[in-house]
Copies of this chain bind each other. A is one copy, B any other.
Amino acid sequence: MIPLEKRIDLLRVIAHPIRIRILEELTHGVKCVSDFEDSLDISQPNVSQHLILLRTNGVIDFFVDGRLKCYFLKEPLIPDMLELLKKEYAEDIPAPACCPVTKKRTYPGERRR
């Protein structure tokens, strides 16, 4: 059982436009830092910082290939997460039927008062 706290940390780490793009690209295969430098159009140190943040949180990892660092996806939740982010929903959750219970001030269960 993985602790929810860890998963929330994971959410925080993922929740950034640049890092989402990094993860998207990594679903298509291995990439090195300068690949991202080209495709993301941000500075190389900034790329490194995002990659390091992702790595220290277990989201990605790399192997060394000469002077390249080849990053790849590690966290299995990521593909599911990216898919969920693109999922379309027809409509909002409907508001609760208006409101026999709360109008009496007696919430289901233990409404104190």
Contacts and interface: CB of A to CB of B under 8 A. Distances in A.
Interface string A98-113: 1101110101100110
Interface string A58-94: 0001010110101011111110110011111101110
B15 A70 contact: no
Interface residues of A, number: 55
B63 A76 contact: no
A95 B63 contact: yes
B85 A7 contact: yes
Contacts of A61: 95
A65 B95 CA distance: 14
A89 B63 contact: no
Contacts of A1: 88
